[in-house]
Amino acid sequence: MRVVIIGQQDFGKGVLDAFLGRGDEVLGVFCAPEKEGTKADSLRLAAQNNSIPVYQFASLKSEEATMTMRRLYPDLGIMAYVVQFAPPDFVSIPQYGTIQYHPSLLPKHRGPSSINWAIINGDKETGFTIFRPTDGLDEGPIILQQHVAIGDHDTVGSLYFNALFPLGVAAMVEAADLIFEGRHKEVIQDEGEASYEGWCRTMEARINWYSHVDYLYNLIRGCNPAPGAWTLLGDKKIQLFDVKKQVFRTFGAVHGRIGEITEVGPVSFKITAQGGYIEVFKLKHEEGKKITANEFIKTYAIQEGMVMNS
């Protein structure tokens, strides 16, 4: 099979490695231009290490991008973690069209932060979809889906790297084979079941300690590792990462003011919220790197009675 990879970073590299590993011919790689001072694109590096042409157009809507795809004329286009809009006249050029990966069970959780929102919303299950890209965001016909359970302690990082990433790479290859062999079906998405969420960014990641502890626990997990759920201690930004929750049936069983550090232990400390406590094990002060709660307690002289501000 002759393919072109459109994507970036580790997932794109994983897909590239999978197709190369089984002997497919990768004619070229399209990836977004890299900003100065940012992490080098691992997909670009892998392509260059394998002597595969790399194309970094400012826009895939450009005539230059379209002409390049026409010149390559692959059997199939493979969109693996794409941040640029790929128009229909670009993705329709390959002989068998193009397929795209999205880390949710479409049509639910369309949008750029689907893994984050599935956890934040308290979903017990998510998954991924391989579909045909169209001019609508994540709206194309579905070729393949796989369900993945969200564990009670899963974070964005654990869910992605332990399940959605490796299973998704394998599914891209499977979907490509189904199409190439003419064995695939395309299922139109049910718009009545569709949902969309925008980016999960700093504003969305702010902790309001007056929220219920169940929601806060999901928010912190759904922002770990990025963008990092945060609060304020004085005027300093504190991001929380590894946490547990303690939930009580009655509000009277919960001690301390909302946002108050009510217990400081050898490896953690507890913060009061509605309905219980958030127990913190790993966090980041705005002036440093991620550290354990023990290090944080010693470094910043954390004591019971201090209050985190919403």
Query: What's the pLDDT tens digit per position in 3-29?
Result: 999 999 999 999 999 999 999 999 999
Asked if residue 267 is part of any domain, the answer here is: yes
98 and 14 share one domain:
yes
Residue 251 has pLDDT above 80, yes or no: no
**DSSP codes, 162-221:** IIIHHHHHHHHHHHHHHHHTT----B---GGG--B-----TTTTB--TTSBHHHHHHHHH
Mean pLDDT, residues 206-213 taken together: 98
177 and 303 share one domain:
no
Output the pLDDT for position 67. 98
Nearest to 52 by CA among 21, 20, 26: 26
Domain extent for 248: 213-309
From 161, 193, 225, give the residue that closes a domain.
193
User: The pTM is what?
Assistant: 0.95
Residue 252 has pLDDT above 90, yes or no: no
pLDDT digits (tens, 9 = 90+) for 157-196: 999 999 999 999 999 999 999 999 999 999 999 999 999 9
Mean pLDDT, residues 220-239 taken together: 98
Domain count within the chain: 2
153 and 27 share one domain:
yes
185 and 267 share one domain:
no
Asked if residue 301 is part of any domain, the answer here is: yes
* Domain containing residue 240: CATH number: 3.10.25.10
- CA end-to-end distance (rounded Å), the chain: 54
Mean pLDDT, residues 229-250 taken together: 97
Residue 241 has pLDDT above 90, yes or no: yes
41 and 185 share one domain:
yes
Q: Work out the pLDDT band at 207, boundaries 50, 70, 90.
A: very high
* Domain containing residue 61: CATH number: 3.40.50.170
Residue type, position 115, single letter: I
pLDDT-above-70 percentage for the chain: 100
Cα gap 9→7, rounded to integer Å: 7
Which residue do the tokens 């406590």 mark? 277
Q: Work out the pLDDT band at 37, boundaries 50, 70, 90.
A: confident
User: Across the chain, where does the E strand assignment appear?
Assistant: 2-7, 25-30, 54-55, 76-80, 98-102, 125-131, 142-149, 229-233, 236-247, 261-264, 269-273, 276-285, 290-292, 308-309
What mean pLDDT value characterizes the chain? Answer: 97
75 and 164 share one domain:
yes
Output the pLDDT for position 249. 86
Output the pLDDT for position 250. 86
